[in-house]
Amino acid sequence: MSQDEFVRQMPISNGASSLRASMWQRLHIDPALLLLLLILTAVGLMVLYSASGQSLATVKRQAVFFAIAYSAMFFVAQINVDMMRRWSPFVYVVGLALLVAVLIAGTGAKGAQRWLQIGGFRFQPAEIMKLIMPLATAWFLADRVLPPRLKDVALSLAIALIPAVLIFKQPDLGTAILVSAAGLFCLFFAGLSWRYIAAVGGLFATAVPIMWFFVMHEYQKRRVLTLFDPESDRLGAGWNIIQSMTAIGSGGVEGKGYLQGSQSALNFLPESHTDFIIAVLAEEFGLLGVVGLLFLYLLILVRGLVIGMSAQSTFARLVAGAISMTFFVYIVVNMGMVSGILPVVGVPLPLVSQGGTSLVTLMMGFGILMAISTEQRRLSH
Amino acid sequence: MWQQERRYIKDPTAEAVLYQGRAVFAIALIVIVFLVIFSRYVYLQIFQYQRFKTESDNNRVHVQSLAPKRGLIYDRKGRLLAENISSQSLVLVRERVPDLDETLSRLQLLLAIDDDDIEDFRRRLKRQRPFEEVPLLFDLSEHQIAKVAVNIHTLPGVELQAQLVRYYPYGELFGHVIGYVGRINEREQKTLDLDNYAATYSIGKLGVEKYYESQLHGTVGYQNVETDVRGRILRVLDQTDPTPGKDLYLHLDVDMQRAGYEALAGRRGSVVAMNVKNGGLHAVVSSPSYDGNLFVNGISSKDYAALRDSRDLPLFNRSLQGQYPPASTVKPLIGMAGLHYGTVTPSTTVPDPGWYQLPNDTRFYRDWKRQGHAARISLADAVIESCDVYFYDLAYKLGIDKIHSFMDSFGFGRPTGVDLTSERGGLMPSREWKKRTQNLPWFPGETLNIGIGQGYMLATPMQLAAATVALANKGQWIQPRALNKLGDRELLPIRRDTYDVAPAHWDLIHSAMLDVTQGARGTARAAARGLSYDMSGKTGTAQVVGIAQGEEYDSESLALRKRDHALFVGYAPSQNPQIAVAVVIENAEHSSEAVKVARAVMDAFFLDENGEFKGVSQ
């Protein structure tokens, strides 16, 4: 069996009628992915209702964000994948310029400078970079001979890390991690040699102390320190972690029941409707709820990677893989930090945490996946 | 560089295979990492479940102590003498306050709190249970409440709390006898049942409030409450109600107390009015007095200094702590002792030249009346006219041992055991006492002074009233008591028989005491004129300074505070005694002043609103 045949034989939905398939194709929708996303959206809104102290207004506002995000996804899905490829270097340069602009003229709060105001419109360029990054790195690598050679690896790293450093300077560690992850996973899917991966691992190990002493801000260091000993600062920086661990642990296997989570209802859990929302889910639905959510996420991730497998071009494959793995990093960093095994870096739980901006970029990412998925389907007929 | 790369041809198939391999690896990575996350949640939710469940409940549920309502205090006609009124306190919950020192200094600036109050607060903080409110400031003014309310959102852990605080509607009228409650101090904290007082901030300090503290306080209650992160109570999960303290129904009578207090008119002195039938205290006045309300929320140091430094000693409870020479008020009892022991008979007469001399002694013992009362004087007349010479003679003949024994049975020389605080026992001297304290034998001349209630002898107004009740009761002594009913339980009087004296002797003394107010030569005749009921009694004037031998007593030349104390003991109505009164007015010089006060108190008991005698009914 040739590689081409192998690719073509990757089934999406076995025995689906060509009529139905063509309808989804015309709409540029991947039905399996859409179904999973809708289930996740429903779960997210339900948990948010409890986490926000049963505020219907909050849920309604989030539903509006979802509507916008789904529309954005639908819109992006209509864009021709090749056109994305051709435009991505220009968009990347614009994105980079915006990031520099943020550092010079950005606005924000709490010592961070993340927003850019143009006219009456206010947005976070770093968010857009999450979307641009996989496209730009994939654009660069798609034209190279793969697996990439050292020179190409170095250039891709530059593409991935320059914006990441700019974002880190804002400072926004969470987004910097997500943006660089998108670029790095692109490299990984392009066949980055395992030797390089091992070398990067070693580099990372040596970089940590340098970061600690020369790069990291005081508040970032504190976050890391309290990770290892939250009790050392019970009422200060450790408070969040202790309260979220208490929320999770007290949920037990079966949970306290929907709307019965005392930790968030009584406001012991900070950020309960944003970054720490998984604690609410874990408290109210227990370990079973956590497993269910992980399973849902796993299905979405596998679906994304499989879309990459059946993608028609290297560019599309790399983009699909990188977007999927960025989504994975979201999940790991969030669930890890809330449960106290990773430092608190301000990454939301995708599609569950409240918040409009990251929701829209996430869904636009899924829009790209759908564009890839339906493009491949079109060619296969 | 670019040339070199272009030598290689891109192989899309190989790249697709490469991707597939990497994707499979990625899925494996995802599964492994998800398993790591899963195991972390397993660890938290299964292995650490108990710990976090407990911590979550601790977050959520707090035990709060509920202060019992302090029992009320009523007078014998049901008028409130001590009640509980609502007041706002400023409380802090330590666990909710991010920076205690900063919060305290802010509050101190905002509300002008004394350093002393801050110190008290830190002391209270030490015995705080987790998440319990600790009061910082009591009885906030409207102005202070407004200031706190405006700033409360910037002061986490600080709250206003409504509390019941003690209030004494009659203020200084009952100052000494009711006493007051005050904040629990360090010494009290060491001996208290801290569990029962967990929600209580004040405790009886003096008087009835202290004596009946355990009955008034009640038993603490508890509630489990669900609180949010700022400590606000969201709901009460379950509750054990506190048991309120018992209400006290006293024998005290606002009208009689006021009559006595007003009759003293600010002079230093004491009035004790007692019920002859049951020993109930209808009036216990010590003047000057103080307002117990000042102490409830902590007296200011300025107010306290004013009370402490006053020359008139307003904090001194003269009814129980004031030990005065009983002077001539002891004469009826000394006479009774003479009759009882057969030392004298009703017809025994003694010559009275105005002085008395012991055999083989050149010292003159003077009568208060320089020329003497009569050539020879009998016991009855000696009581009526308060002849000293007769009682010098009688005391000498009785001897100190018999006098001590007889007077002791009427309660002289030991505390009455009244249900009030800081009572003193006075002094009824004896040979044994003198040997013990001074290591000297008893001299006969000292007995003479005891015969007229002077010398070493000292008695409190409370003892005088109790002895007068015993006298009116023909020998039955009753323990004085402020409390009549505890809740709905009536208390029985504690009685003790004194000497079994022949009824004829009682009659003689009683009739002589009636003549003190009604006889032509009675010492209280003028002051008792116009009484609409019969009052029996005995006057007394107690020397404050010793008069040297041969020196003339001249009241004009004596400084005001060296003048004689005026005393009167009496009971009424004479035929069926109901009320006994003892009055001491310091430096009032004339015993008639004391008679007038006693009369005012009796009038308050016996007369109706039109000033008519109501008759005797209990």
ipTM, 2 dp: 0.89
- Selected for mutation to probe chain A from B5, B36, B50, B52 (highest A CB count within 10 Å) is B52
Q: Do B53 and A249 touch (CB under 8 A)?
A: yes
| CA distance to partner chain A, nearest, from residue B134 (Å) | 20
Confidence tier at B553 by pLDDT (50, 70, 90): low
Is the minimum CB–CB distance between A65 and chain B shorter than 8 Å? no
Question: Mind listing the pLDDT tens digit for each residue in A338-377?
Answer: 998 888 888 899 999 988 788 999 999 999 999 999 885 4
Give the pLDDT band of residue B606 (cuts 50, 70, 90).
very high
Map residue B365 onto helix, strand or coil. Answer: strand
pLDDT at B118 (0 to 100): 86
pLDDT greater than 60 at residue A13: no
Q: What is the pLDDT of residue B137?
A: 86
Interface check for A319 against chain B (CB to CB < 8 A): the answer is: no
d(CA B19, CA A34): 24
Contact B358, B445 (CB under 8 A): yes
- Cβ distance of B48 and A267 shorter than 8 Å: no
Between these two residues, A85 and A145, which has the higher pLDDT value?
A: A85
Binned at pLDDT 50, 70 and 90, residue B13 comes out as: confident
Residue B1 has pLDDT above 60, yes or no: no
Residue numbers in A near B14 (CB within 8 A): 3, 146
Measured between beta carbons, the chain B residues lying within 8 angstroms of A231 are none
Tell me, letter by letter, the H, E, C secondary structure of A132-163.
Answer: HHHHHHHHHHHCCCCCCCHHHHHHHHHHHHHH
Whether residue B6 has pLDDT greater than 70: no
Interface of A with B in 273-312 (CB under 8 A): 282-283, 286-287, 290-291, 294, 297-298, 301-302, 305-306, 308-309
Tokens coding A13: 């939905």
B-chain residues near A297 (CB < 8 A): 34
Tell me the pLDDT band of A25, cut-offs 50, 70 and 90.
Answer: confident
| Binary contact (B53, A235; C-beta < 8 A) | no
Nearest-10 Cα torsion for A31, A33, A38, A41 = -170
Average pLDDT over residues B327-334: 95
Chain A hits for B7, Cβ within 8 Å: none
User: Which residue of B lies nearest to A328 if distances are taken between CA atoms?
Assistant: B30
Contacts of B503 (CB under 8 A, 6+ apart): B474
The pLDDT confidence band at residue A233, using thresholds 50, 70 and 90, is: low
Stretch B290-313: mean pLDDT, rounded? 88
Superfamily for B254-606?
Answer: DD-peptidase/beta-lactamase superfamily (3.40.710.10)
Residue B419's pLDDT band (cuts 50, 70, 90): very high
For residues B506 and A266, the model is more confident at B506
Could you read off the pLDDT of B241-298 as tens digits, one per residue? 999 999 999 999 999 999 999 999 999 999 999 999 999 999 999 999 999 999 988 7
Cα gap B552→B559, rounded to integer Å: 15
* Mean of pLDDT values over B454-470: 95
- What pLDDT is stored for residue B299 in this prediction? 83
**A12, pLDDT greater than 80:** no
Annotated catalytic residue, options B286, B319, B328, B386: B328
E strands in B347-469: 349-351, 355-356, 365-366, 376-378
Of B8, B18, B31, the CB nearest to A191: B18
**Considering CB atoms only, which of B16, B37, B40 is closest to A317?**
B16
Query: Are B56 and A6 within 8 A, CB to CB?
Result: no
Average pLDDT, integer, range A268-297: 91
Cβ atoms of residues B312 and B443 within 8 Å? no
Spatial strand order in the sheet of B536-542: B281-287, B269-275, B579-585, B565-572, B536-542
Helix orientation angle between A277-309 and B12-42, rounded to the nearest 10 degrees = 160
Check if the beta carbon of residue B184 is closer than 8 Å to that of residue B202.
yes
What residues pair up with B572 in beta bridges, in sequence order?
Answer: B579
Q: Which alpha helices (DSSP H) does chain A contain, by range?
A: 3-9, 18-27, 31-51, 56-77, 81-105, 125-142, 150-168, 173-189, 194-210, 218-228, 238-251, 262-265, 277-309, 314-338, 357-380
- Predicted confidence (pLDDT) per residue in B359-378, tens digit: 888 888 888 888 888 889 99
pLDDT above 90 for A280:
yes
Which residues of chain A neighbour B34 with C-beta distances below 8 Å? 294, 297-298
User: What is the chain A residue with the closest CA to B47?
Assistant: A249
Q: Look at residue B57 and give its three-state secondary structure.
A: helix
Per-residue pLDDT band at B388 (split at 50, 70, 90): very high
3-state DSSP assignment of residue B285: strand
Any CB–CB contact under 8 A between A328 and chain B? yes
Supply B439's token pair.
């290591």
Distance from CA of B54 to the nearest CA of A (A): 8
Indicate which of B32, B37, B50 best probes the interface with A, i.e. most A CBs within 10 Å of its own CB.
B37
Q: pLDDT grade, residue A378 (50/70/90)?
A: very low
Q: What is the pLDDT of residue A2?
A: 45
Give the pLDDT of residue A18. 54
How many contacts, defined by CB atoms under 8 Å, are there between A and B? 163
Contact of B428 with B408, CB cutoff 8 Å: yes
* Contact call for residues A95 and A132 (beta carbons, < 8 A): yes
Does the pLDDT value for residue B5 go beyond 50?
Answer: no
Q: Hey, CA dihedral for A326, A328, A330, A336, is it positive or negative? A: negative
Contacts of B26 in chain A (CB under 8 A): 185, 188-189, 305, 321, 324-325, 328
Hey, which residues does B275 pair with through a beta bridge? Answer: B579
Q: Which helix (H) or strand (E) holds B302?
A: helix B301-309
Residues of chain A in contact with residue B45, where contact means CB-CB under 8 angstroms, are 248-249, 251-253, 282, 286-287, 290
Mean pLDDT of chain B: 89
pLDDT at position B471, please?
94
Contact B486, B218 (CB under 8 A): no
pLDDT confidence bin for B131, thresholds 50/70/90 = low
Q: Which residue has the higher pLDDT, A270 or A12?
A: A270
Quick check: A350 contacting B, CB < 8 Å? no
Q: How far is B238 from chain A (nearest CA, A)?
A: 17
Contact at CB, A249 and B40, closer than 8 angstroms: no
Please give, rounded to a whole number of angstroms, the shortest distance from the CA of B8 to a CA of chain A. Answer: 7
Q: How far is CA A139 from the centre of its chain?
A: 20
Selected residues 155-194 of chain A with any CB under 8 Å from a CB in chain B: 185, 188-191
Q: Which string of DSSP letters, residue by residue, matches B255-283?
A: HHHHHHHHHHTT-SEEEEEEETTT-BEEE
Residue A57: is its pLDDT beyond 70?
Answer: yes
Cα four-point dihedral sign B252, B583, B507, B394: positive
Q: How many CB atoms lie within 10 A of CB A38?
A: 12
Topology of the domain comprising B62-250? Penicillin-binding protein 2a (Domain 2) (3.90.1310)
What's the pLDDT score for residue B555? Answer: 60
How distant is the Cα of B147 from the closest Cα of chain A, in angstroms? 27
pLDDT of B130 above 70: no
Q: Taking every pair of C-alpha atoms in chain B, what is the biggest distance, in angstroms?
A: 159
- CA distances for A240 relative to A263, A271, A279, A336, angstroms: 11, 8, 11, 14
Exposed, middle or buried: residue A233 (CB in 10 Å: 0-12, 13-18, 19+)? middle
Residue ranges of the domains in chain B? 62-250, 254-606
Closest CA–CA distance from residue B95 to any residue of chain A (Å): 9
Q: Both tokens of residue A357?
A: 């901006």
How does DSSP assign A164-208, residue by residue? HHHHHTTT-HHHHHHHHHHHHHHHHHTT--HHHHHHHHHHHHHHH
Kindly determine whether residue A301 and residue B27, on different chains, have CB atoms separated by under 8 Å. yes
Beta pairing, strands B73-74 & B248-250? parallel
As a whole number of angstroms, the distance between CA B166 and CA B295 comes to 10
Structure tokens at B577: 């005694």
- pLDDT score, position A226: 67
pLDDT number for residue B552: 56
- Asked if residue A343 has a cis previous peptide bond (ω within 30° of 0), the answer is no
**Catalytic residue status for B328:** yes
- CB proximity A110 to B under 8 Å: no
Q: Read off the pLDDT of residues B136-192 as tens digits, 9 standing for 90 and up.
A: 888 888 888 888 888 888 888 888 888 888 999 999 999 999 999 998 888 888 888
Strand partners, B84: B166
Contacts (Cβ under 8 Å, ≥6 apart) of A119: none
Cα A231 from Cα A49, distance rounded (Å): 30
- More confident call, B20 vs A264: B20
Output the pLDDT for position A3.
47
CA distance A269 to chain B (A): 9
pLDDT exceeds cutoff 50 at B322: yes
Query: 């802090």: which residue's tokens?
Result: B92
Give me the pLDDT at residue B2, please.
41
Q: Is the pLDDT of residue A22 over 80?
A: no
CB of A88 within 8 Å of a chain B CB? The answer is no
Lowest mean pLDDT among B44-53, B137-146, B263-272, B327-336: B137-146
Interval A115-126 mean pLDDT? 78
List the structure tokens of B369.
Answer: 């009346």
Alpha helices per DSSP H over B136-230 = 142-151, 175-178, 186-191, 207-211, 213-217
> Quick one: average pLDDT of A227-243?
70
pLDDT of residue B554: 60
- pLDDT confidence band for B612 (50 / 70 / 90): confident
pLDDT attached to residue B79? 95
Question: What residues in A contact B130, CB-CB < 8 Å?
Answer: none
Q: Which residues of B touch A235 (CB under 8 A)?
A: 98
Provide the shortest C-alpha distance from residue B295 to chain A (in Å).
Answer: 39
SS3 B538: strand
Residue A301 has pLDDT above 90, yes or no: yes
- Cβ distance of A308 and B23 shorter than 8 Å: yes
Query: Which among A191, A282, A308 has the least Cβ separation from residue B41?
Result: A282
Q: Which residues of B touch A286 (CB under 8 A)?
A: 45
Judged by CB atoms closer than 8 Å, whether chains meet at B44 and A249 is answered as: yes
